[in-house]
Every structure is written in structure tokens, then in C-alpha cells.
Chains A and B, each alone.
Chain A
């Protein structure tokens, strides 16, 4: 551990030998193509599939009526059950895999055409005759809860899914009333599309012999996918088989059992043959869950010294037209639990109006609620510094939870184990040469450019589900097989977890095999990967299973070394008898374990230990200081991120190379949110305008600067490895760092109000408006 071990798994990937789900086909496979709504909101008046059914190569066309008539498919689930302060449940609208009466967002699913080739299926979709009655729609989040907005669900008055409050607001209002100083901000956290590079693809299949429904699809854990699918097809667990091969990125949107996957499985069962869907990028843009999309007003009351007396947050969060698996939980639970992030806040009130609109449902995307929380706090801190006439670093130091307060229970009752915020921030400032900004600012000014520097300090809560599965199976040839319920889809767990096992057992890498949660027939247990949980959950599970192996191995070693168990010591892969000095390796013990002649009487063959790990801590708390320095051309509004520095506290680092890779990727996504990415719907028609990479601006290499990242390893006190999550910090720290840098650059021009993405147009317009 702690070494930048290179990834053996790379060889397959750099040579084109990886197997993504579109890279293979099953015998007798047909192809499916979907009919999707072109309208934001419409009644389906009539639907005639006759012509499509008769098209060349078409072997089946199915609509919502067919699925509903079959009666064997439940509604799409939502597993985040959010209540209001009075205990009233949220409104959970019914969502069928295929809609037959009404469509509620551009891209909503209506039918599937199955044909012998993909092209035939595609062509036939256009032959479906469908008549719509267009209805008024609403796509703007703030407008969606206004009284005159188009209503989407009759039972959800004012398009309100739920009005969440953490407590009553009277106390914070009183504090704000009497506070000597109050900082206020109005923020938009823009809607993002995760856009992993592998588009959506899946094969549904059916095994008639066993009655097993089968799904091949990229995911963030076949086990996690299975746990959602079984809510829709309520079968015995072994009658649903999910297989995920190489997966081209996840970022939170790939862990969900989307309606398309359900429909493919159902269709394969109807037709008794495999059905493959090759989604194109447009389908990914319109039907992968979107994310973020919050409108927030926040207030920070302070005493005469700038110390915060409390926090008030009022957010309208768009959940889209339907509830996806975790959608309403993102702003009310995922983000809310870390509200206040790294600051000491005596009283916190948070209100979230979770609102429907005629848009793609939102759900988790890298950070899932925590980037929003960081953006609020870091924007407030900057505003607070202005209100108080204080330095932004000074006001943060004043309000940070001090080191001596840990473990610290935050305002949402979460015990935070550790953090050294001032130290981490100072390390980042040094890395960024924070103190040299004035000279660089003057230099930029000589060339007619405006330079600014900004800090974003984030804290997020990582861990996801608190249970996980690990197993270390020693083979007859002395090698070890790691089995774990997390699922690597780019993170390099095969390397990181081998490092953990190597340190625990002394076994060399070449003597290890790695199987993770990509096939429910092989590793049915576990919760997959997401929420930056894999090292703290999968890693710890493996470590504990390895320790059990060593303990059991000691019994066998003692027997083989002909001495008492208490006279055997294990170190670096070898058991040594302290009396005779004789030794035997773990590998040799493993080989012996497969030969009953070599084992003590009555001992079963094998050396194979499971760990069903349940963590005690709620979460752990990666945190870090991100500093962006920008140079703006006031003539064009173009922003150049001239330097970007960060120091992250992710606890103990298993592999610094993999860790930095995660940080880079998260920062790039955060820069994408801050500067480039914007999911656009037309206000009048509800039409989706971000359907391709021509419309939705993905960061390119030339748009991301060199990333100067370091770490401050503050050991996590709540797991065996001391690790904290690593994958999601960058997209929490980058947006506020950039926003604060841009506002710093433009402050002399009187620009105070800007919203992400900070496009040249927006910056230029703000400059003009301030003149």
C-alpha cells in the first residue's frame, strides 16, 4: 500500500482486447430500438404499430399496453422515501417502463421494435403511427413550483413532490433577525449530464429451461442492478442473472436499472430469444439520469467578528418528470447530511422543495448532493468575507471546525471522525502560490487581462450502503483469489485490492486473481461501486477475509510444523515456528489445505474465508482545498484557467497514482460544470436542446489546465485501512474554486452576479451590465 503500482488490467484495454457489452453478440440475437416521445408533455391519442410490425425483418413490436396486459411487471421503483416535517410522504407518481397514455419529457419511452438487425429495427420505429395532443409544459426549475406553471401530476399540487425541512425555521429566522451581519447568496447549480464515454447498451435474454431472466449491461455492480430489477420482476433472486462486462465509465448514472433494461429483459422473455439494444449518444443524453439542477437562496448570520451563528438554506430541486431510484434523496439526504461542510454552525435550517418538471429525471452523478453543499458554503464564505470586510482565508479559518473538536457531530447529527482543514488549506495555498497572486495580477493587467484566484474548500460524505462482501479463496496451486462485491469500472480496483492483499499476506501480485461484482452468479453479494465506497468497503472486506485466512492458516501451519499454534508467527507471507525456526509459506499451507492427508483430523479441506462486513460509521469525510487561478479577457469574456492546485484529504492512500487519477477526473468534471456544461431545455416548448456533444460542451484536453494535486493523509479513524473516499472530491471543490476566482478577477468591474456555466457570453454580458 502507498505505492503507485501500475495496472496490469491496462494491457487488455490499450490493445483493444477489452469486452464491452456491444463487443459481443449472442446466438439468435435480435435487435431492439425504442420509440421515444418527441414532446415535453403530451397525451397519446392513438398508437398504431401495424405498419411497423409489417416492416422488413421486424419480429415484434411492444407497447405499454402489452406490458400492462401481461401483468408481470411492477412500476419502476424509487427507493428514497422522503417525508415532510409533518411526516407526510412524498408524492410518488407511477412510472411504467413504457408509457401508454401520457408522455412527460422529451425522450420518455413509448414502444420497442424488435427486428433481425439494428438497422431494420431503427427504420421500423419510424413507421409507428402515433397521434399526440401536446400539453403545456414547464422545464424551468424555479418556475415549476409557481402557481401558473403547467401541472404534470394531478396529485402533486404545484408540481411539488415533497417539501422537505430538517426542522422548524423559527429559530434560524430569529437568529438572522438579530444578527449583526448576514451574508446572502442566490445560486444556481446547473443541470448536468454525466455522459460516460460508453453509450448505453444492453442485451436482454431468457433461459427457458430455468426460467431465468438475464441482463448483460454495463453497470456499477451487477449485484446492485439486480437489487433494483428484482423490485420490478418479483422473482426468486436466482431467477434474475445480471452480467456486467467491461464498463466504459459510470459516475453514478450507470448504477441504475433503467426502464430500457427492464423492457429488454421482458421482451427477451416474451420472444424467447436475446434482444440487444445499442443506444446512441442522443439516447444517452436524453435518458441517462440528469443531475444537480438546484436553485438556492442561502443566508449566513454572523456575529460582530464574522463567526457564523447559523445557516439557512432554501432550495428548489428539480427531480424531473418522474422519480428515479434515488432522485428525491439527492438534495434531501445525500447533500443535506453534509450541509455546512467544514464549518462550525450552531443552528442549521434547510428547506428543499423537490419539484417535478417536464425534464429527464435526476439522480446521482459524481458527488450527488455534496457538490451542491460545497457550492453553497463556499459562495457564502466569499460573500461573508465581503460583508465583513475580511480576507476570505481569514474568515474560513475563523469558522472551520477546529482540529481539537474531532470527532465532531455536525448539525445533521453526523459524527465526523477527522479533519485538518487549516493545515490542508495552507498546503493548497502553498502549492498554488496564493501569496504571489498580486504580482501575477499586475502582470496580467499589463496585457489587458483580469486575473483572479479563488478557493473552494469541500467536505463530502462517502461510503454508500454500509454493508459489503469480501472473500479470499486460497487455491490448490497456492494462489489467492479475491472476490469482492464492489465493481471496478475504470478505477483499477484489481490493482488497489491486490496491494491490500499483498500487504496482509505477503503474496506476490502474480499469485493473485481478482473477481469483483460483475456477475451475480459468481458474486451475488455486495452493493457495487458508487459514493466513493470501494476502498472503505470492498478493501476492508478483503482485508478482514485475508486476516481470517491467516488465522485459519496458522492452525494448518502449526500442524505441518509440528508445533503449538501459540508457537507460530506469521509475517510477510511465511509462518515460522518460534521454537524450531522451521517455516512454511502461506502458499504452501494453501496447497496443503487441499490435501486432507496433510490436515489435522476432522478439518475440512480448503482455505477460503468470507467477510460480511458491516461498517459502524455512518460515512467518512473526504475533504480538501481546491484553488483555481483564472485570467479573463474582458473584451471577449473568455476565461482561461491558468493554474489549478488542490490538496485532498482522502485519509490513507492505497495507490497514489490511482488516487490522483480519480482527483484529476473529478476536477475535470467540476471544471466542466463551472465553465462549459449546461443542459438546456427550451422554455416555450420544453424541447431538449442538449442531445449531442455538438450541443453539450464536454471538456476537451485543451480546456483543462495542468492539474497540480497533492494530498494530506489524515487517517480515517473509523475503518481498518484508514481510508476515506477519493473519487468525488474534485467535482465538489472545483466549481466554487472557479466561481470564486472569476468573481475575484471581475470584482473591480463591479460584477457580483454570475451563474454557472461561466461561458464567455455570460461573462461578457455581466461585464457590460456592470458598466
Chain B
């Protein structure tokens, strides 16, 4: 067992983990932040996407011990404390970019990273950038719409 410490959603946390514990397991089970989901076992689906030190990462591909000292942001940190949705989240709702919701936290976290890198992203770019995020419900049509709209809203906010 190893003790890991990191900052998660602005809070200092630590825990004892087996070396083989994945970061997603640490987040879901130790920290009970269950917004980050497990959808596969081969790192294809992206439901586990979080931000580590400002960059999107699939938390199933990291061991918890690798995240020692890192600054982690999960889906739970995206909306405002008073519950106001982030413009990207609002865009998903406005554009029907989700159905069952299981892939959605990963989609939102990936979307935020896409916009960080490509602020004026277009639909084709979004489709390409979403290669690491699977959805079975929506056929992606409205997810792409949501992310393009969310990007515009984020640019407008400045």
C-alpha cells in the first residue's frame, strides 16, 4: 500500500492505495466522486476523462500513484458552486447532446480540453477530436452541435 496525495477539485486529498489501483478507481471509490465513469477496460471509451494538471486524461490509463502531487479536476468541478451550469454544460442541455448520460461527463471534460486548445473549433474538428469518446445513444450529431455551441458561448464569455 502507498499513500498518495493530490489536489482534487481544489481540495487536498490523500489515501492509501494498492499500487495497481487505477486513478479512476481512486476518484470513484476513495473520493466517492462518481461523476467520472468506467465504460470499458481498454481505454477506448473516454467515460473516465478528467483533467490532470490542466490537460484531459483518461483516468483509467493512470495509476493513482502516478497522480501523486497532481492537480485534478473532475466533472463535479465544472458547474458553479451555486449550481449554475457551465456554458458547455448548458450547451449540452440546449442541444440535446445527451440521452442516457453515461458518456456525458467524459464528453464535457473532453469538450473543455478541445476548446482550450481550439477556441473556435468547428464541427469537423470536433468529430476528429472526439475519437477517444464513445457514445451509443446519440449518434454524435447533437454532441458535435453542443460542443460547437459551447465553444462559441465560452468565447463570448471571454
Q: In the complex, which residues of chain A have a beta carbon less than 8 angstroms from the beta carbon of B47?
A: 197
Q: Once the chains bind, are A15 and B89 in contact (CB under 8 Å)?
A: yes
Q: Is the CB of A10 within 8 A of B92?
A: yes
Q: Does A142 contact B (CB under 8 A)?
A: no
A568 to B83, CA, bound (A): 44
Among A655-686, those with CB < 8 Å from B are 657-658, 660-661, 664-669
Given known A-B contacts A16-B34, A702-B127, A197 and B41 have beta carbons under 8 A apart: no
CB distance from A33 to the nearest CB of B (A): 14
Residues B25-57 near A (CB distance < 8 A) = 28, 33-42, 44-45, 47
Q: Give the chain A neighbours of B62 by CB distance below 8 A.
A: none
Whether the Cβ atoms of A14 and B136 lie closer than 8 Å is no
1/0 contact trace for B126-158 toward A, CB 8 Å? 111011011111111111100000000000000
Kindly provide the distance from the CB of A727 to the nearest chain B CB, expressed in whole angstroms.
Answer: 10
Which residues in B have their C-beta under 8 angstroms from that of A198?
A: 37, 39, 100, 102
Interface residues of B (CB under 8 A from A): 18, 20, 28, 33-42, 44-45, 47, 74-76, 78-79, 83, 85, 89, 92-94, 96, 98-105, 108, 123, 126-128, 130-131, 133-144
Q: Considering the complex, give the chain B residue whose CB is closest to the CB of A696.
A: B44
Q: Name 12 A/B residue pairs within 8 A (Cβ), A-sorted.
A: A10-B101, A14-B105, A19-B34, A196-B136, A199-B40, A248-B37, A491-B99, A661-B96, A665-B137, A665-B139, A692-B42, A704-B127
Is B37 a contact of A282 with CB atoms below 8 Å?
Answer: no
Q: A13-B101, A492-B99, A700-B130 are in contact. Are A706 and B141 (CB under 8 A)?
A: yes
Q: Which residue of the partner chain A has the closest CB to B75?
A: A16
Interface pair A248/B101, CB less than 8 Å apart: yes
Residue of B33, B35, B101, B134 contacting most chain A CB atoms (<10 Å):
B101
Check if B140 sits within 8 Å of A668, measured CB to CB.
Answer: yes
CB–CB B78/A15 < 8 A = yes
Contacts of A19 on B, CB cut-off 8 Å? 34
Contact at B139–A667, with CB atoms within 8 Å?
A: yes
C-alpha gap A698/B47 in the complex (Å): 14
- Which A634-672 residues sit within 8 Å CB-CB of chain B? 657-658, 660-661, 664-669
Distance of A227 from chain B, by nearest CB (Å): 23
A281 touches B104 (CB 8 A): no
Asked if A282 and B41 sit within 8 Å, CB to CB, the answer is: yes
If over half of B's interface residues share one DSSP class (helix, strand or loop), that class is named, otherwise mixed; here it is loop
Within 8 A of B (CB), among A1-36: 4, 6-7, 10-20, 22-24
A269 on interface, CB distance cutoff 8 Å = no
The answer to whether A14 touches B93, judged by C-beta atoms less than 8 angstroms apart, is yes
Q: With A20-B102, A119-B18, A282-B41 as given contacts, are A704 and B134 in contact (CB-CB < 8 Å)?
A: no
- Chain A: residues with Cβ within 8 Å of the partner, total of 58
Binding site for B on A (CB under 8 A): 4, 6-7, 10-20, 22-24, 119, 194-199, 246-249, 251, 280-282, 489-492, 657-658, 660-661, 664-669, 692-694, 698-702, 704, 706-707, 730
Most B CB contacts (10 A, CB to CB) among A249, A251, A280, A666 go to A249
CB of A707 within 8 A of CB of B139, answer yes
Query: By the criterion CB–CB under 8 Å, are A490 and B101 in contact?
Result: yes
Q: Which residues of A contact B130 (CB under 8 A)?
A: 700-702
Assess the A17–B35 pair: CB atoms within 8 A.
yes
> How close is B44's CB to chain A, nearest CB, in angstroms?
4
A residues in contact with B79, CB < 8 Å: 14-15
Contact of B138 among A664, A694, A700 (CB under 8 A): A664
Please give, as numbers and ranges, the residues of chain A lying within 8 Å of B44 by CB-CB distance.
692-694, 698
Question: Which residues of the partner chain B approach A17 to less than 8 Å between Cβ atoms?
Answer: 35
Q: Are B99 and A16 in contact (CB under 8 A)?
A: no
Instruction: State the CA gap A197–B131 with chains docked (Å).
Output: 15
- Whether the pair B93, A6 counts as a contact (CB closer than 8 A) is yes
Of B105, B130, B141, which is in contact with the most chain A CB atoms at under 10 Å from its CB? B141
Other-chain contact of A249, B83, B85, B100 (Cβ < 8 Å): B100
Q: Chain A: which residue is nearest B141 at the CB level? A: A664
Contacting residues, chain B, for A251 (C-beta < 8 A) = 136
CA gap between A665 and B136 in the complex, in Å: 7
Min CB distance, A15 to chain B, in Å?
5
Known A-B contacts A6-B94, A22-B38, A491-B99; the reply to A15 vs B139 at CB < 8 A is no
Q: How far is the CB of A452 from chain B (nearest CB, A)?
A: 22
Q: How far, in angstroms, from A23 to B27 measured CA to CA in the complex?
A: 11
Chain B nearest CB, measured from A664 CB (Å): 3
User: In the bound complex, do residue A247 and residue B100 qualify as a contact, i.e. CB atoms below 8 Å apart?
Assistant: yes
Residues of A near B138 (CB, < 8 A) are 661, 664-665, 668
Given contacts A246-B101, A665-B138, A701-B133, contact A10 B144 (CB under 8 A): no
